[in-house]
A = this chain, B = another copy of it.
Amino acid sequence: MFILTVKPGERQAAAPPGAPAEMEGAMARIRVGILGATGTVGQRFLALLANHPHFVVTAVAASDRSQGKPYGEACAWRLPGDMPPGVAALVVRAPEPPLECDVVFSSLPADVAGEVEAGFARAGYAVISNSSSHRMDDAVPLLIPEVNPDHLALLDACPGAGRGFIVTNPNCSTVMIALALAPLAARFGIEAVAVTTLQAISGAGYPGVASLDITDNVVPFIANEEEKIERETRKILGRLDGGRVEPAPFVVSAQCHRVNVVDGHMAAVRVRLQRDADVPELREAFAAFTALPQQLRLPTAPARPVVVRDEPDRPQPRLDRDAGRGMSVTVGRIARDAVLGHRFVVLSHNTIRGAAGAAILNAELLVARGYIPLRG
């Protein structure tokens, strides 16, 4: 198997390809940099990476006025609790190579991410991006480790010493939709999908949604969101063919709404399957679903990617968003549908499974598959 070596000279030696799991403890952790570190998702990256077994944050960068200040000063921490202790002293850098790290996680705004991430990849970094800029690029995997780990082969197309790469995770709504559809696609085949989302305010970052727009209100519009869901879902569930991804052949329709919830995106999903199935079969397909990250016991992988709840009024954002430490999606209300055949409701934590956690799980798979070498 091909192993992409980001800076192969030193690393290859340092991280012997066949190193058994027991050796991990002896190895230094992989140094990571966070691009967009002061934002909502950037803060989630830092919180989730505190005490990570493989990664240690050694650099933070941001495109804003905070450059040059210690992170502890530059950043108004908006997650519950305090920022992880090691991070406060890191000086915020400009988001451009070189950075004091081997891998970068990016949650830069879409308007700057495109060029910046490409620059880091050209400079030899593994770029694990939560931004939308490169998701639809032909050579970039749009990855959910439980769904399309084979898409990583896109990276093998341009091998070479010192070549960096970009791997992206989906839009915060798409990830839960695609993850819930994956077991249905595998067992029954899919012909059409109509999703209607109810999305949390944290999905818009900070300051993001004005309180006057969402208190006692719903906003039936999120810029570009419907297009992203319709497009990304088909790429993720598409088939790798001749070095490129053929989008899945079904149609997707999305109607998106912002609702007054802090964290936790919900989607009401209707689906037309290729072969008929009864409701218990669908339930079983969801509940039994496990995949590569569970087999590999990746640190951030939840025991159950899809949790099924049978109560008639679940899932609910406040009660279910933290399932599997925010990495499980929760499915409920599985039923027959008069128009498309079947329907259900799916929910996940939009800044964990929908953003920072998704990227970290991607990075863990890249380590496990050798695309990111461990350091000796």
Q: A218-B198, A315-B220 are in contact. Are A255 and B268 (CB under 8 A)?
A: yes
Interface centre among A206, A315, A338 (most CB of B within 10 A): A338
Interface residues of A in 302-323 (CB under 8 A from B): 312-323
Residues of B contacting A251 in the complex (Cβ-Cβ under 8 angstroms): 338-339
> A270 touches which one: B221, B253, B338 (CB < 8 A)?
B253
Q: Is A196's CB under 8 angstroms from B81's CB?
A: no
CB distance B253 to A339 under 8 Å?
Answer: yes
- Chain B residues whose CB sits within 8 angstroms of the CB of A255 once the complex forms: 196, 268, 270, 333, 343, 345
CA distance A332 to B218 in the complex (A): 13
Q: Counting CB contacts under 8 A, is A78 at the interface?
A: yes
Least CB distance, A344 to chain B, in whole angstroms: 9
Interface core residue of A194, A217, A261, A323 (most chain B CB under 10 Å) = A217
Q: Scoring A residues 201 to 219 as 1 if CB is less than 8 Å from chain B, else 0, what string do you get? A: 1100011111111111111
- B259, A218: Cβ atoms under 8 Å? yes
For A338, give its contact among B253, B332, B333 (CB under 8 Å). B253
Judged by a CB distance under 8 angstroms, whether A192 is at the interface is yes
Pair A210/B212 contact, Cβ less than 8 Å: no
A282 — which chain B residues lie within 8 A by C-beta?
Answer: none
* Given A81-B322, A210-B206, A333-B220: A215 touches B268 (CB 8 Å cut-off): no
Please provide the chain A residues from 259 to 287 with a CB less than 8 Å away from any CB of chain B in the complex: 259-262, 266, 268, 270
| C-alpha spacing A210/B219, complex, angstroms | 15
Q: Is A75 interfacial (CB-CB < 8 Å)?
A: no
Contact of A266 (CB < 8 Å), options: B79, B220, B345: B220
Residues A338 and B230 in contact, CB atoms below 8 Å apart: yes
For residue A147, CB closer than 8 A to chain B, the reply is: no
- Number of residues of chain A lying within 8 A (CB) of chain B: 61
**How far does the alpha carbon of A202 sit from the alpha carbon of B211 in the complex, in Å?**
9
Residues 95-120 of A, flagged 1 when their CB comes within 8 A of B and 0 if not, give: 00000000000000000000000000
Complex contact A212–B322 (CB within 8 A): no
Closest to A256 in B: B268
A340 interface residue, CB < 8 Å from B? yes
Is the CB–CB distance between A80 and B211 below 8 Å? Answer: no
Q: State which residues 49-74 of A face B: CB under 8 Å.
A: none
Contacts of A151 in B (CB 8 A): none
Bound Cα distance A260, B215 (Å)? 8
B196 with A207: CB separation less than 8 A:
no
* Chain B residues in 8 Å Cβ range of A78: 212, 319
Show 12 A/B contacts (Cβ-Cβ < 8 Å), sorted by A.
Answer: A81-B319, A81-B323, A193-B339, A194-B270, A211-B214, A217-B261, A219-B316, A253-B270, A253-B339, A253-B340, A257-B268, A259-B259
Complex A-B, nearest 4 residue pairs according to Cβ-Cβ distance, in ascending order = A207-B210, A196-B196, A221-B313, A253-B339
Could you list 12 further interchain pairs (A-B, Cβ under 8 angstroms) beyond the known A196-B196, A217-B316, A253-B339? A196-B255, A196-B268, A198-B198, A198-B257, A211-B211, A216-B260, A216-B317, A217-B317, A218-B261, A221-B333, A255-B270, A260-B260
